[in-house]
Amino acid sequence: MGGNVLFIQMTWVVAAILFIFGLKLLGSAGTARKGNLMSAVGMLLAIVAALLQQGLEFQWILIGFVVGGLIGAAAARLVQMTAMPEMVALFNGFGGMASLLVGWAALGGAGNTFTLVTIVLSILIGGLTFTGSLIAYGKLSETIGSGAVTFGGQQIVNSLIVLGILASAVMFCLQPENHTWLYVVVGLSLLFGIMAVIPIGGADMPVVISLLNSYSGLAACAAGFAINNNILIVAGALVGASGIILTQIMCKAMNRSLSNVLFSGFGSAAKDTTTVEGEIKPLSVDDAFYILEAATSVAIVPGYGMAVAQAQHAVKELCELLESNGAEVNFGIHPVAGRMPGHMNVLLAEADVPYDQLLEMDDINPRMETVDVAIVIGANDVVNPAAREVESSPIYGMPVINVDKARTVFVLKRSMASGFAGIENPLFYKENTRMIFGDAKETLNGLIREFS
């Protein structure tokens, strides 16, 4: 028995080491795949050790491994890359619900006040993470409206919900034999998750996803304390901390505070009232080819439109043709481009675009004045010069990629519709900008045919 306990404890130590080093490797695009694999192996070891500790027979562990593996493999194969943000939102939600159920299951062995508090925290954070993630999923998939949903007295209602949660949690800790108070905590936490996310507009979903990811980690950490599982505490703390750091990075990239994202209702209330003057200058694919053929430096800035058009492979092919023609090609990646953190990096990695060509905003901006052609593919708000030039703009002060400083700018768009934030973009009217209307993938394939 003692040897079995030692084996389980050592397995948890190995798993924790794999988590830490895996997280470190995830900090770089070049090592992210290795870090993901390392973390996955660590989680597998942690789960097996935890189930062995509970006395579960090995054949049941194997069955769970096979069933879970099949579900994961099917999801990885069948879910489109454009639906990856929604999938991440669901993962966060499932993690929250798992923590809620673990906390609830730990109730039978609860004794001291500390354990009761951790049970309440795992249920509370897990519940709001679950329903909040479902709302985020609905906004990202546009199953429900992506705009912010606000109403008079909304913050008062939310405050009353929070007070109700706190009062019910205190009563449960004082009267743990009365499970009615716990049921109230469960119900209010699920309701609060909905109420917390509906006033956040779709343009802020990258921040919401990273924040919900942090919540799922904190819920797991609380559940680990509730069942006295050290590896769950470690894993939850790592996820919670990394999620908070990522959330701060997202907020900084938009020049906004977290409280502003959570409570401003930016997605519907913030509308640009400024009038942009100028003339749109459309460009054909044929004429765009002649300009690109003479370019020696090209910067490509992808956005959600690239994901919708599934144009990442066409982008890679055009990139190779430009390089064979003597041009230097780099990609400018804005932290909040797309609808989840790292969305563009994931898409371009799928197309095997070299990691050293993916430049962050702070790296690409100093080079932009030397770029012959900047190609904007489906991005809008992250290249909007109004963030620098128009003080009345809702995004004024937000760091953007300065594509307007390139010698020539190609903007690939289906129409003149505004971006997810609903803000007019003066870039489209600038003298050095040319609009190429149509499906981004078809436009890129047209350029590829011209080069070929």
Same domain? 403 vs 443: yes
pLDDT at 269: 42
| Contacts made by residues 280-284, CB under 8 angstroms, sequence distance 24+ | 280/416, 280/428, 280/429, 280/435, 281/433, 281/434, 281/435, 282/434, 282/435, 282/436, 282/437, 283/410, 283/434, 283/435, 283/436, 284/436
Q: Which two tokens stand for residue 339?
A: 């609808």
Distance CA 86, CA 138 (A): 8
Q: How many angstroms from the chain centroid is the CA of residue 362?
A: 20
Q: Which two tokens stand for residue 336?
A: 């909040």
Same domain? 170 vs 308: no
Catalytic residues: 381
* In a domain? residue 322: yes
pLDDT at 70: 92
Provide the β-strand partners of residue 329. 298
Nearest 5°: the CA angle 63, 19, 86 is 70
For 96, the domain range is: 84-207+243-268
* In a domain? residue 166: yes
Task: Judge contact between 194 and 131, C-beta under 8 A.
Answer: yes
Distance CA 416, CA 423 (A): 11
Same domain? 289 vs 170: no
Provide the β-strand partners of residue 146. none
Q: Which two tokens stand for residue 103?
A: 């906390």
Number of domains the chain contains: 2
Same domain? 247 vs 351: no
Q: Which helix (H) or strand (E) holds 412?
A: strand 408-413
Same domain? 199 vs 291: no
Q: What CATH number is attached to the domain comprising 406?
A: 3.40.50.1220
pLDDT at 3: 55
| CB-count burial class (<10 Å; 0-12, 13-18, 19+) for 302 | buried
Task: Judge contact between 388 and 400, C-beta under 8 A.
Answer: yes
Distance CA 326, CA 451 (A): 12
* In a domain? residue 192: yes
Q: Using DSSP, how many helices (H) and how many strands (E) does the chain show?
A: 18, 6
Same domain? 260 vs 343: no
Same domain? 98 vs 130: yes
**Would you say how long the chain is, in residues?**
452
Nearest 5°: the CA angle 217, 213, 378 is 165
pLDDT at 422: 65
* In a domain? residue 4: no
* In a domain? residue 323: yes
pLDDT at 1: 47
* In a domain? residue 353: yes
pLDDT at 266: 46
Same domain? 140 vs 250: yes
Same domain? 259 vs 331: no
Same domain? 192 vs 301: no
Same domain? 362 vs 248: no
| Closest CA relative to residue 437, chosen from 280, 308, 329, 314 | 280
* In a domain? residue 72: no
Distance CA 89, CA 99 (A): 16
Q: Which helix (H) or strand (E) holds 446?
A: helix 440-451
Same domain? 259 vs 119: yes
Q: Mean pLDDT in each 10-residue stretch from start to end of the chain (452 residues)?
A: 73 92 83 89 90 80 88 84 82 92 80 87 94 90 78 87 94 87 93 90 79 92 90 92 87 76 54 64 90 92 87 92 92 84 83 87 92 90 86 81 93 75 81 90 91 80
Task: Judge contact between 414 and 437, C-beta under 8 A.
Answer: yes
* In a domain? residue 278: no
Tell me how crowded residue 429 is: count the other CB atoms within 10 A of its CB: 15
Q: Which helix (H) or strand (E) holds 330?
A: strand 328-333
pLDDT at 110: 62
Going by their DSSP bridges, the two strands 373-377 and 358-360 should be labelled as unpaired
Nearest 5°: the CA angle 122, 127, 132 is 130
| Closest CA relative to residue 49, chosen from 219, 235, 242, 240 | 235
Q: Which helix (H) or strand (E) holds 237?
A: helix 230-253
65 contacts: CB under 8 Å, gap ≥ 6? 44
List, as one string, the DSSP characters of 157-223.
HHHHHHHHHHHHHHHHHH-TT-THHHHHHHHHHHHHHHHHHTTS-GGGHHHHHHHHHHHHHHHHHHH
